Amino acid sequence: MSDTQADTGEVREIRINPIVPSESVLVATARSMRPKKAEELAPRDTRKHVETCPFCRGNEHKTPPPILTWPETGDWQIRMVENLYPVLGDDRAQSGFNFGLQQTIDGYGRHEVIIDHNEHGIAVHEMAEPHLAALFGVYQKRMRQLFESDERLKYVLVFKNFGPAAGASIPHTHSQVIAMPVVPENVDAEVKNSAAHYAKHHHCIFCALIDEALTFEATIYDRASGAVRRKINVGQYVVERGEKFIAIKPFASRYEWEVHILPLTHQADFLDVAEADFADLARVMRRTMARLDAVIGGAQYNFFLHSVPHDAGQAAYAPSYHWHLEICPRTSIPTGFELGSGLFVNTINPEQAAERLRAVSL
Minimum gap (Å) between residue 248 Cβ and Zn ion: 12
Half-sphere exposure of 313 (CA within 13 A, CB side): 17
Examine residue 57 and tell whether it contacts Zn ion (CB under 5 A): no
Examine residue 246 and tell whether it contacts Zn ion (CB under 5 A): no
Q: Which stretch binds Zn ion (CB under 5 A): 77-85, 100-108, 129-137, 197-205?
A: 197-205
Examine residue 55 and tell whether it contacts Zn ion (CB under 5 A): yes
Nearer to Zn ion, 29 or 346 (CB): 346
Minimum gap (Å) between residue 320 Cβ and Zn ion: 8
Minimum gap (Å) between residue 262 Cβ and Zn ion: 8
Q: Which stretch binds Zn ion (CB under 5 A): 98-106, 132-140, 300-308, 350-358?
A: 300-308
Examine residue 53 and tell whether it contacts Zn ion (CB under 5 A): yes
Minimum gap (Å) between residue 172 Cβ and Zn ion: 3
Examine residue 191 and tell whether it contacts Zn ion (CB under 5 A): no
Examine residue 172 and tell whether it contacts Zn ion (CB under 5 A): yes
Helix, strand, coil % (nearest 5) of the chain? 30, 25, 45
Look at residues 17, 18, 19, 16 and name the one whose alpha carbon lies nearest to residue 191.
19
Minimum gap (Å) between residue 120 Cβ and Zn ion: 3
Minimum gap (Å) between residue 160 Cβ and Zn ion: 15
Among 120, 142, 291, 310, binds Zn ion (CB under 5 A): 120
Minimum gap (Å) between residue 113 Cβ and Zn ion: 12
User: CA 304, CA 326: separation in Å to the nearest integer?
Assistant: 5
Half-sphere exposure of 63 (CA within 13 A, CB side): 23
Half-sphere exposure of 352 (CA within 13 A, CB side): 16
Determine the residue type at 19. Answer: I
Among 142, 254, 283, 322, binds Zn ion (CB under 5 A): 322
For β-strands 78-82 and 97-99, DSSP reports them as unpaired
For β-strands 25-28 and 344-346, DSSP reports them as parallel
Examine residue 81 and tell whether it contacts Zn ion (CB under 5 A): no
Q: Quickly count helices (H) and strands (E) in the chain.
A: 7, 17
Nearer to Zn ion, 34 or 203 (CB): 203
Examine residue 207 and tell whether it contacts Zn ion (CB under 5 A): yes
Q: Which stretch binds Zn ion (CB under 5 A): 29-37, 119-127, 149-157, 278-286?
A: 119-127
User: CA 299, CA 269: separation in Å to the nearest integer?
Assistant: 28
Q: Which stretch binds Zn ion (CB under 5 A): 90-98, 133-141, 201-209, 213-221?
A: 201-209
Nearer to Zn ion, 93 or 199 (CB): 199
Examine residue 245 and tell whether it contacts Zn ion (CB under 5 A): no
Tell me how far CA of residue 235 lies from CA of 124, 153, 247, 287, 338, in angstroms: 25, 39, 11, 17, 30
User: CA 67, CA 216: separation in Å to the nearest integer?
Assistant: 46
Look at residues 96, 150, 358 and name the one whose alpha carbon lies nearest to residue 247.
358
Among 160, 254, 306, 330, binds Zn ion (CB under 5 A): 306
User: CA 20, CA 25: separation in Å to the nearest integer?
Assistant: 11
Look at residues 208, 206, 138 and name the one whose alpha carbon lies nearest to residue 176.
138
Nearer to Zn ion, 55 or 162 (CB): 55
Nearer to Zn ion, 36 or 47 (CB): 47
Q: How many CB atoms lie within 10 A of CB 48?
A: 10
Examine residue 56 and tell whether it contacts Zn ion (CB under 5 A): yes
Among 41, 80, 127, 204, binds Zn ion (CB under 5 A): 204
Q: What angle do CA 130, 135, 139 make, to 5 degrees?
A: 145
Examine residue 266 and tell whether it contacts Zn ion (CB under 5 A): yes
Minimum gap (Å) between residue 252 Cβ and Zn ion: 12
Those residues whose C-beta lies under 8 Å from the C-beta of residue 224, and which sit 6 or more positions away, are none
- Write out the residues near Zn ion by the rule CB under 5 A: 50, 53, 55-56, 120, 172, 204, 206-207, 266, 306, 322
